């Protein structure tokens, strides 16, 4: 990995909760010390029960999102049921591993719900796939992990999980120069994939009394 790739940064987080999954990202895209974009989408709906966050090269991430949306739709048409999280993570892992000599420079979080419950997977550029209760990626992830280790509780609700994700991203934005410009949050549960409005996010920040 060259120096420019090492300098790319972002912050994303995924939390598995008792009633669903929370995914969250900030919006800043950087090129070295340059803030290249201030409203970058890093949180994507793959299917009604499945979402993904992206960190790394934007072009690579967008290609992989398109692959996953297409493959998930094809699976639903072919088998008349949604793809499981394990199968989806395996498929994405295989796509990443197949480009080993010209890798996709990304860190991804795949999260959602299926008949086995709530799941979050972390995937790396080499195709590694690891399931966990929570995971965070990008240059701001050390700050988020500090928040998660301190505040995460097993079997927490998506309401509390969304607050925790916001708290973690907010902490990263205060210390990581590659993270900023606002927070996107999605909740995935039995009712589907829902992105919180800007007002909902700001109301939660005010309720938690997080400093600007």
Q: Give tens-digit pLDDT for 59-89.
A: 999 999 999 999 999 999 999 999 999 999 9
Res. 155: pLDDT tops 60? yes
Res. 4: pLDDT tops 50? no
- Is 10 an active-site residue? yes
Cα→Cα distances 204→28, 136, 164, 189, Å:
21, 20, 10, 19
pTM of the model: 0.92
Superfamily (CATH) of domain 3-207 = Aminohydrolase, N-terminal nucleophile (Ntn) domain (3.60.20.10)
pLDDT at 134: 97
Question: Of the candidates 43, 120, 55, which has an alpha carbon nearest to the alpha carbon of residue 85?
Answer: 120
Q: Give tens-digit pLDDT for 84-131.
A: 999 999 999 999 999 878 899 999 999 999 999 999 999 999 999 999
Q: Whole-number mean pLDDT of the chain? A: 91
Q: 24: helix, coil or strand?
A: strand
DSSP assignment string, 155-176: T--HHHHHHHHHHHHHHHHHH-
Q: 118: helix, coil or strand?
A: strand
| CB within 8 Å of 58: residues ≥ 6 apart | 29, 40
Q: Predicted confidence band at 203 (pLDDT cuts at 50, 70, 90)?
A: very high
Catalytic residue of the set 10, 12, 40, 54: 10
**With b meaning 16 or more CB within 10 Å and e meaning fewer, what string describes 137-165?**
bbbbbebbbebbeeebeeebebebbbbbb
């Amino acid at each position: 990995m060259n120096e420019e790739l090492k300098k790319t940064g972002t912050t994303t987080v995924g939390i598995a909760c008792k009633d669903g999954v929370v995914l969250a990202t900030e919006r800043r895209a950087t090129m070295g010390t340059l803030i290249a974009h201030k409203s970058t989408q890093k949180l994507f709906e793959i299917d009604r029960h499945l979402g993904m966050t992206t960190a790394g090269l934007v072009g690579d991430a967008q290609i992989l999102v398109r692959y996953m949306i297409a493959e998930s739709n094809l699976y639903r048409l072919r088998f008349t049921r949604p793809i499981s999280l394990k199968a989806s993570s395996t498929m994405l892992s295989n796509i990443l591993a197949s480009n080993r000599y010209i890798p996709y420079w990304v860190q991804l979080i795949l999260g959602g719900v299926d008949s086995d419950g709530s799941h979050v997977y972390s995937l790396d550029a080499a195709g590694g796939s690891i399931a966990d209760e929570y995971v965070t990626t990008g240059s701001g992830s050390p700050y988020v992990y500090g928040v998660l280790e301190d505040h995460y509780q097993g079997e927490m609700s998506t309401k509390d999980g969304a607050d925790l994700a916001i708290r973690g991203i907010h902490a990263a934005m205060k210390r990581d120069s590659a993270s900023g410009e606002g927070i996107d949050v999605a909740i995935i549960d039995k009712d589907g994939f829902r992105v919180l409005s800007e007002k909902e996010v700001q109301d939660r920040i005010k309720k938690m009394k997080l400093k600007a």
